[in-house]
Amino acid sequence: MTEQDLAWVGLGANLGDPQDMLHSALSALETLPDCELRRASSLYRTPPMGPPGQPDYVNAVAGLATALSPESLLEALLGLESRLGRRRSGAQRWGPRLIDLDLLCYGQARRESEFLSLPHPGLAERAFVLVPLAEVAPELEVPGVGRVIDRKGMISCEGIERL
């Protein structure tokens, strides 16, 4: 299986102990039915996107081999967030969070619905996604975006620190 065939998940947290939460989330990804964790990046400290005054984030990406559909995988990721303690009701957009699991891309699939957009909107502009993704899948060709390593070279990665 090549990196082009994997589903890529972005992980992020900036409340509690973010590093511990990402380690817990990576372990939990291994338990998802019909999924196998194939790759995981290092953890990165990143400046927050969104409202000012929130703590830095810790981000990573993971590559999953899966038999789940993109929609079923997203549902599983949302369930995993809930099991890890995330509560979405009343949450501020781009505000601080205990855990965030985003389905970034799923092979070469493209989707656009109320529930799921693939590739993830904003993936091409977000250094907190592209830096860890370039570590583990620099040659990944994201539909409509291009190669990860090329896209990473087009944005500022200032303030990102590998942990």
Q: Is 102 one of the catalytic residues?
A: yes
Catalytic residue among 100, 111, 126, 151: 100
Q: Which of 20, 93, 97, 111 is catalytic?
A: 97
Question: Is 97 among the residues known to form the active site?
Answer: yes
88 alpha-carbon distance from chain centroid: 17
Judge whether 86 counts as a catalytic residue. Answer: yes
Indicate which residue of 45, 102, 126, 151 is catalytic.
102
Specify which residues 147 forms β-bridges with: 141
* Secondary structure letter of residue 56 according to DSSP: P
**Pick the catalytic residue: 45, 86, 126, 151?**
86
Active site residue 100: yes
Which residues, 6+ apart, have CB-to-CB distance to 162 below 8 Å? 42, 43, 44
What is the Cβ-side half-sphere exposure of residue 32, based on CA atoms within 13 angstroms? 31
**Residues with catalytic roles:** 86, 97, 100, 102
